[in-house]
Structure 1
């Protein structure tokens, strides 16, 4: 009987072997894609949040010693959660945005006249701006440096301004479509992130104005901040 069953099996022709090989290739490719997205949307968050925690801890220790830290400041936004605190690091490149919220080094420092411009991911790499669309006009954004605590009040919501990725004005010293080459007179904050969760060519923008500055009593005098 086994011989009869075996005789009914189709021969493994070259065409069947090719089809099987193609199926295996597609299966492996599919697993690779799933693995890539799992890493992007889960793995990078785990790694980035661990790195952000390290930077926060190291920076605060450095501040206690009276020196500038690995982060230029700490960002706190009550709308993002009561325990939300993320380091602000130098740069807008991928490495910087994987370590916290990035600061455009060509913009002003916190509290200075002009535009203090920062950016962060909505998804992946710690997703510090995941709740960006929840921001509302009048929300407060707190920026703490080694020596001072600055509070900005938002002029618009997290969904009211959307611009193409290539739009430059949010990073100008006067963040306004008509602000090119204008002399800044206000102390402003601009926050930028992706306007959608997945691939997008647009960016969401919020702008805040400085409403208070608090001198930290334990500060010592060195450079910056």
Structure 2
């Protein structure tokens, strides 16, 4: 009996250690590896975009609809834009990849399939982790009305301004409708919606931020004023 109890105790200790190692891997190591990979993707995109290419003029009305820089939906998992959020820090720059599957969100911020592309009328809907895998939306709840959310593509800077926040059920998919929270309504403006699990370390709800397009500028003109510190 004593031997059985001793063996059981050793097994429980081993199991506890394995659980702790798994938690450390999930919460720390995935941040390290995904963070490095995402930073490398950002650097690759910036290098690719820095190559000489004709600039695409921005529309006279900065809030007018524009033709997307990408002619069609990128292949799933491909990075096609970079997200900058000054509220998250001057060094914050995360790739936006097509798709919101588990593997896609390891590579950066996911673009919901079928939603608008940057600058288009409709709703550019994005998903990101608050913990693990680089945790790009870790500080989403810190965003305030009026904060800038900037999307960079090969040719343009799109500056959105935060308009509202809400906490919803994961089943409330109307938050990513072309007009947020108004399914079936025809859009006339360009929105950006960011979604992340809520509360922290839980998938019970979603924290959602909506932002409205304020301006569109050519990349050749340099970053918008809200990103002056980013460069």
Report if TM-score (shorter chain) is over 0.5: yes
What is residue 125 of structure 1 aligned with on the other side? Answer: 133
Distance in 1 of aligned mates of 2:106 and 2:29? 12
For residues 61 and 134 of structure 1, what CA distance do their matches in structure 2 show?
31
Equivalent residue number for residue 197 of structure 1: 200
User: Is 1:37 aligned to 2:23, yes or no?
Assistant: yes
Between structure 1 and structure 2, the one with the greater Rg is 1
**1:148 and 2:153 are equivalent in the alignment:** no
Q: Deviations over 1:194-225 (max 9, x none)?
A: 1211123100001011000002238xxxxxxx
Residue deviations 1:11-54 (CA, integer Å, cap 9, x gap): xxxx1111011101101110011001000100100010111011
Distance 2:218 2:50 in 1: 15
- Structure 2 unpaired stretches of 5+: 54-68, 222-231
1:82 and 2:85 equivalent?
no
- Secondary structure (helix, strand or coil) at the match of 2:220 reads coil
2:195 match: secondary structure? strand
Q: Separation in 1 of the partners of 2:218 and 2:48?
A: 18
Task: Confirm or deny that 1:167 pairs with 2:175.
Answer: no
In the other structure, the counterpart of 1:110 is 118
Take 2:147 and 2:207, find their aligned partners in 1: how far apart are those partners?
16
Distance 1:98 1:200 in 2: 16
Counterpart residue number, 1:21: 7
Q: CA offsets, 1:61-107, max 9 Å, x none?
A: 22234597942111111110111111111111111111111111210
**Residues 126-164 of structure 1 deviation map (CA, whole Å, 9 limit, x = unaligned):** 0111111110011110100001100001102xxx41001
RMSD after superposition: 1.8
Tell me the equivalent position of 2:228: none
TM-score in terms of structure 2 length: 0.82
Partner of 2:34: 48
Could you list the runs of 4 or more consecutive aligned residues of structure 1 that deviate by over 6 angstroms after TM superposition? Answer: none
How many residues matched?
200
Match of 1:95 in 2: 103
3-state SS of paired residue (2:19): helix
Other-structure match for 2:50: 64
